[in-house]
Amino acid sequence: MYVKEISEIENLIQKQAQWRNRCINLIASENIVSQRVRAQAGSDFAHRYAEGHPGERYYRGTSYIDEIENQLTTNLKILFACDHAEVRPISGTNANEAVFSRFVCPGDVVMVNSTPAGGHISHHREGSLGKFTKNIIDIPLTADGYHLDLEKTMYLIEKARPKIIVLGKSLFLFPEPVQELSEVCRQYGTRIMYDAAHVLGLIAGKQFQRPLKEGAFLMTASTHKTYYGSQRGLILSNMEADDWRKIDRGAFPGSSSNHHLDTLAQMAISTYEMMEFSEQYAVDTIKNAKALAAALDRFGFDVQAKEFGYTESHQVAVNVRDFRGGERVSRNLEINDIIINMNMLPHEPLKSHDHPDGIRIGVQEMTRFGMGAVEMEHIAELIKECIIDRKPVKEEVNRFRSEYQRVKYSYDEPQPRQLKVLDGKRVKS
């Protein structure tokens, strides 16, 4: 009865894939998985359940996913040099909820980055944190708006004695002062939670900061931004066993039941890719962000944080108020197949979220398609022609993008054949 309607859905899926292959995607919260990872989507694990831990499931028939989950957990501990890795959350927000549900009680004071300062919705009153306390204080910022004011923050920690301070954000240009805050937090019993959703891949590549080593109590993250995995969540920590048991119960049964085994298997493959390629990928991503920011600045855009080198992450923030704001600019670029998102900037009032002054740009996906500094210059030129010169650039965007179709930093590319020693003779494997 519904064959025609199903065909229409399948057609829309194909149109999406074809369209996005022609686009320059600069959404800071997205990335592309390799063909090797993508090929495992829809495996038999998509139909299956596995509640609990490997070897201790509430369901039978889980021996293979047990092995995959154990490998993934072990590899994450190696990659991030930590004692504990919780892989069952199915998103970054889900991971945050697992933590908040076990460590935040009604009335507890929690300090967070405000929405204009880049804080994620899950950290706020209307999001996950607001389910557990309404006593939420914004972290003070320096005059530029992109850095935490250390002196004022320390003062607030002393006076307000927050249970938790949540560092990390969605508009995330520079590392957070975890180490600088760790001593005062210890002194007043405040735990540092670091939301690494955007920068997890840069941390894996040792190019941003190392929050757990610097004093964070735990680190949550999603796994599909600079960490180019399937869409899931993580919790990583070196905390004591008693506290980790709380996280364990927060993840299951607290915020999840079955934990989407098909994407878990994909995540296991992409984590091996991160172990192999993350350092060079992180270096190249940050270089590209700086190159794009500098080029946009030269072309006349108000690129933020110029005095600090624009960015130390994958992101670039631009004030486009002179071009009718972020909502209009993002729409005009989308018409020309350049995909970005509008974004509030630190100076803006919360009520401006639907029509903010800013745009947020991320270079991580185009970096994974093999683009470098030269290509970033061309992207900046295309944005300038579209927004400042008001010229159509879609045809050139599509032509340019057609040259970058293969995913790099992955095992999609042929790997060098290695020599093995058998019976004293070297042979190619």
Look at residue 429 in the predicted model and tell me its pLDDT.
45
What's the rounded mean pLDDT across residues 225-242?
Answer: 96
The pTM assigned to this predicted structure is 0.94
Look at residue 255 in the predicted model and tell me its pLDDT.
80
What's the rounded mean pLDDT across residues 108-122?
Answer: 92
Give dist(CA 225, CA 27) in Å, integer: 9
Q: Mean pLDDT score of the chain, rounded to an integer?
A: 94
What's the rounded mean pLDDT across residues 367-396?
Answer: 98
Look at residue 240 in the predicted model and tell me its pLDDT.
93
Checking if the pLDDT of 421 tops 60, the result is: no
Q: Cβ atoms within 10 A of the Cβ of 374, count?
A: 8
Which helix (H) or strand (E) covers residue 361, if one does?
strand 358-362
**In which band, very low, low, confident or very high, does the pLDDT at 21 lie, cut at 50, 70 and 90?**
very high
Quickly count helices (H) and strands (E) in the chain: 14, 15
pLDDT top residue among 351 and 100? 100
**In which band, very low, low, confident or very high, does the pLDDT at 418 lie, cut at 50, 70 and 90?**
low
pLDDT tens per residue, range 210-232 = 999 999 999 999 999 999 999 99
User: Tell me, what amino acid is at 88?
Assistant: R
**In which band, very low, low, confident or very high, does the pLDDT at 100 lie, cut at 50, 70 and 90?**
very high
**340-30-201 Cα angle (round to 5):** 125
**In which band, very low, low, confident or very high, does the pLDDT at 417 lie, cut at 50, 70 and 90?**
low
What's the rounded mean pLDDT across residues 275-283?
Answer: 98
What's the rounded mean pLDDT across residues 91-101?
Answer: 94
pLDDT tens per residue, range 125-178 = 888 898 999 999 999 999 999 999 999 999 999 999 999 999 999 999 999 999
Burial 392-407 (b: 16+ CB within 10 A, else e): ebeebbbebbeebeeb
CATH number assigned to the domain covering 37-271: 3.40.640.10
